[in-house]
């Protein structure tokens, strides 16, 4: 299972294919943010193309650092006597994090986000680093967002804020191995606020860019792949009584897709054959009398969503 690989539509891949192909010819290593920004500045004139070029280069070349001691994983302590000194020290820490991420070609989410932000600012693009809570594990289903565990970006293009998560655009952690695997996901670029909300809840609610609440966030299933719309069940915690069939409707499943489900606890794990109607796949999941734990839905052997079954 490749963790946190979300998709929000095919259009982005078409719109920015030329940008992506150009960026793929770039060196895989840069020794300064200025050099990367200068290359992008030379190749692209539109701000959205520049924003995409930064996203693509970072996602293709920066590896997620799983080490407990990774720079940016823990906040650094510092002292100051004036507000100006505080801001200067924060800027220095963030610059160091971004440059270290670039030169070492690895980092955590804060490093990805800072590298993106500093590169974008070099290109004159207004950018923010957003901190908040990401729904990452099945244990997060049903829980209100509390402690920050993730960082991402918002960029202002044509006077409109757009959401970006270049960390998740680069790949994910595979299974229980704690190993990062590159898997470019361009659908975390300019993600709609409604789709971004399925896994992201910012500390500052203004960066939701949509009218949603923390309780709505808690109630959602765990979305691994937003290329599939979970029509029903739309609630992440399913309270089961006895045995029976649990009906599912998922938009985006194709007739050639292999669909399966699995429980962490219980005896049932099976393939299903959805009935496809107007792009919506309908199938039933079998609940045993004692089935509980995490229910994961797979399409073509990739996890797309998870639910919690309670008794």
Q: Predicted confidence band at 77 (pLDDT cuts at 50, 70, 90)?
A: confident
Tell me where in the chain the CATH 2.60.40.1930 domain(s) lie. Answer: 229-310
Tokens representing 242?
């006895």
Contact status, residue 246 vs residue 285, Cβ threshold 8 Å: yes
Mean pLDDT of 246-269: 88
Tokens representing 210?
């949509």
Residue for token pair 């109630």: 219
Burial class (CB in 10 A: 0-12, 13-18, 19+), 239: exposed
Q: Predicted confidence band at 187 (pLDDT cuts at 50, 70, 90)?
A: confident
In the predicted structure, residue 287 carries a pLDDT above the cut 80:
yes
* Model confidence, pTM: 0.89
In the predicted structure, residue 1 carries a pLDDT above the cut 50:
no
3-class SS of residue 295: strand
Orientation of helix 33-43 relative to helix 109-122, angle to 10°: 50
Instruction: Please give the pLDDT value at position 4.
Output: 41
Tell me where in the chain the CATH 3.10.620 domain(s) lie. Answer: 11-220
Lowest mean pLDDT among 78-82, 156-160, 167-171, 216-220: 78-82
User: Would you tell me which CATH number, out of the four given (3.20.20, 2.40.50, 3.10.620, 2.60.40), belongs to the domain 11-220?
Assistant: 3.10.620
Q: Predicted confidence band at 175 (pLDDT cuts at 50, 70, 90)?
A: low
Mean pLDDT of 273-280: 95
Give the Cα separation of 60 and 20 in Å (integer): 10
Instruction: Establish whether the linkage from the previous residue to 233 is cis, with ω within 30° of 0.
Output: yes
Secondary-structure class of domain 229-310 per CATH: mainly beta
Lowest mean pLDDT among 108-117, 169-178, 292-301, 302-311: 169-178
Q: Predicted confidence band at 88 (pLDDT cuts at 50, 70, 90)?
A: confident
Mean pLDDT of 203-228: 94
Residue 174 half-sphere exposure toward CB, CA atoms < 13 A: 9
In the predicted structure, residue 149 carries a pLDDT above the cut 70:
yes
Instruction: Please give the pLDDT value at position 266.
Output: 63
Give the Cα separation of 224 and 47 in Å (integer): 29
Give the Cα separation of 85 and 79 in Å (integer): 9
Give the Cα separation of 157 and 139 in Å (integer): 36
Instruction: Please give the pLDDT value at position 243.
Output: 85
Tokens representing 21?
């192909």
Taking all residues of the chain, what is their mean pLDDT, rounded to a whole number? 91
In the predicted structure, residue 71 carries a pLDDT above the cut 70:
yes
- pLDDT tens-digit readout, 99-134: 999 999 999 999 999 999 999 999 999 999 999 999
Tokens representing 200?
């992201």
In the predicted structure, residue 178 carries a pLDDT above the cut 70:
yes
Lowest mean pLDDT among 4-8, 27-31, 234-238, 286-290: 4-8
């Amino acid at each position: 299972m490749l963790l946190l690989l979300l998709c929000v539509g095919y259009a982005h891949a078409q719109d920015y294919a030329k940008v992506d192909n150009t960026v793929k010819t770039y060196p895989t290593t840069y020794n300064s943010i200025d050099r990367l920004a200068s290359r992008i500045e030379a190749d692209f004139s539109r701000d959205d193309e520049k924003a995409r070029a930064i996203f693509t280069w970072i996602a293709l070349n920066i590896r997620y650092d799983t080490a407990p001691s990774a720079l940016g994983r823990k906040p650094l302590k510092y002292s100051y006597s004036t507000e100006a000194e505080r801001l200067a020290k924060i800027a220095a820490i963030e610059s160091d994090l971004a440059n270290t991420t670039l030169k070492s070609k690895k980092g955590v989410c804060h490093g990805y986000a800072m590298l993106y932000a500093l590169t974008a600012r070099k290109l004159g693009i207004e950018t923010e680093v957003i901190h908040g809570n990401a729904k990452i594990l099945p244990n997060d289903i049903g829980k209100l967002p509390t402690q920050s565990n993730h960082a991402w970006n918002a960029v202002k293009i044509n006077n409109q804020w757009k959401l970006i998560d270049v960390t998740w655009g680069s790949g994910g952690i595979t299974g229980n191995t704690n190993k990062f695997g590159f898997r470019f996901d361009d659908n975390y670029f300019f993600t709609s606020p409604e789709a971004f909300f399925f896994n992201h809840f910012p500390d500052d609610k203004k960066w939701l860019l949509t009218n949603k609440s923390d309780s709505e966030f808690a109630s959602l299933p765990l979305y691994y792949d937003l290329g599939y719309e979970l029509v029903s069940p739309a609630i992440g915690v399913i309270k089961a009584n006895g045995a029976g069939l649990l009906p599912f409707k998922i938009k985006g499943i194709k007739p050639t897709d292999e669909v399966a489900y699995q429980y962490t606890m219980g005896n049932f794990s099976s393939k299903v054959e959805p009935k496809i109607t107007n792009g919506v796949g309908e199938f039933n999941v079998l609940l045993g009398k004692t089935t509980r734990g995490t229910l994961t839905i797979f399409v073509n052997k990739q996890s797309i969503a998870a639910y919690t079954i309670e008794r």
